[in-house]
Amino acid sequence: MRVIERTTAILTIAAFALTACTRVGPAPQPTPSHRILHVGTEQAFSKPSDAAAVVQSGDMVQISPGTYADCAVWPTRVSGVTIEGLGEVILADKTCADKAIFVIAADDVTVRGITFMHAQATSHNGAGIRAEGRNLIVERVRFVDNEEGILAASIEDSTIAVRDSYFKGNGNCLSPEGCAHGIYINHIAKLIVERSQFVEQHIGHHIKSRAALTELTGNIIEDGVGGTASYLVDIPNGGGLIMRNNWLEKGPHSENRQVAVSLAAEGNINPPAEIIIENNNFTNDLGEPTLFVRNLTTTTAKLTGNSLVGPVTALQGPGTVDAQIPMTSLP
């Protein structure tokens, strides 16, 4: 199994307002600095939180290889920041604001090449990344044994993209307020997950998204031998779902044995949008029948070219099922 290719996306913001001396104009906006802040034992900043304290819009933060018992809050006063690990960079065992290892309140942030481990919080949803700003890109990032991998707040016009990343051993259902998951996205415009691997999450779901549109492409999402996850993919409030070319497996210890992919289990709240599920491979290793997709929306789901192995019913609810194909070997 592998996550293929890289996509590099660095978002910058450039805004500068000029005012004439003879009249009042818009307040000047800060110009992005485009500095590189070096983090490491022998660098200008010894740990990521030191860089976060002075970061400016447009900065690149580069973290040298090593393990950092540190966390950081990336503040609302900045935007367009890229935070990049050079080599093997691990942040572990510390959370900020009782929320996450990285609390990202800034807009238009890219996080790349970092491993987040062992995030915990008193509410049992300590995350590797807590996304509280608008628009986030996550590339080549590993989330291992956190209570939550990524947890995102509701920002209606925000987009979150996760690419070439790895999630293992996240999730729990210890809080009376609800479970924690591999990825848990609240109400945003779009969630994109591409070429990423999810394995052996605990009790919660691998991916839970309340986004108006969720796009999952080329991922591996599997319980494996030891995973106890509930749904592989949960779209609890309906809306749009595009799933293409994913490999999915429901393991023998799954907490929810009835359904792999669920739509609108918590109410059909999001505006109707396309539900397209095509060219996916799904294996049921439960040893008993299960559903591949349960659609509780009123939108017709279109299932095409999916391969189902084991005792599986393709669809329950509105939709069409066409052209199932034989299972091929896992890449």
Q: What is the pLDDT of residue 211?
A: 98
pLDDT of 22 higher than 60:
no
Q: What is the pLDDT of residue 325?
A: 55
What stretches of the chain show up as alpha helix (H) in DSSP? 48-54
Burial class (CB in 10 A: 0-12, 13-18, 19+), 71: buried
Fold of the domain built from segment(s) 36-322: Pectate Lyase C-like (2.160.20)
**How far apart, in whole angstroms, are the C-alpha atoms of residue 46 and residue 14?**
29
Which has the higher per-residue pLDDT, 323 or 280?
Answer: 280
Coil, strand or helix at 51: helix
**How far apart, in whole angstroms, are the C-alpha atoms of residue 191 and residue 158?**
9
Buried-exposed string 197-214: b where 16+ CB fall within 10 A, e elsewhere: bbbbbbbbbbbbbbbbbb
Domain residue ranges of the chain, discontinuous segments joined by +: 36-322
Q: How far from 285 is each of 209, 223, 224, 225, 312, CA to CA, in Å?
A: 24, 9, 9, 9, 10
Closest to 167 (Cα-Cα) out of 224, 215, 210: 224
Q: What is the pLDDT of residue 34?
A: 85
Q: What is the pLDDT of residue 31?
A: 59
- Locus of tokens 């192995």: 309
| pTM of this structure | 0.88
| pLDDT, tens digit (0-9, with 9 covering 90-100), for 178-210 | 999 999 999 999 999 999 999 999 999 999 999
**Is the Cβ–Cβ distance between 29 and 16 less than 8 Å?**
yes
Q: What is the mean pLDDT of the chain?
A: 90
Q: What is the pLDDT of residue 24?
A: 40
Task: Give the mean pLDDT of 165-181.
Answer: 96
Q: What is the pLDDT of residue 331?
A: 40
| pLDDT, tens digit (0-9, with 9 covering 90-100), for 61-117 | 999 999 999 999 999 999 999 999 999 999 999 999 999 999 999 999 999 999 999
As given in the structure block, the two tokens for residue 224 are 């494996």
Confidence band of 23 (pLDDT split at 50, 70, 90): very low
Closest to 36 (Cα-Cα) out of 17, 18, 14, 10: 10
**How far apart, in whole angstroms, are the C-alpha atoms of residue 195 and residue 228?**
22
Whole-number percent of the chain with pLDDT over 90: 86
pLDDT of 255 higher than 90:
yes
**How far apart, in whole angstroms, are the C-alpha atoms of residue 95 and residue 118?**
9
Backbone angles phi, psi at 51, to 5 degrees: -70, -40
| pLDDT, tens digit (0-9, with 9 covering 90-100), for 116-154 | 999 999 999 999 999 999 999 999 999 999 999 999 999
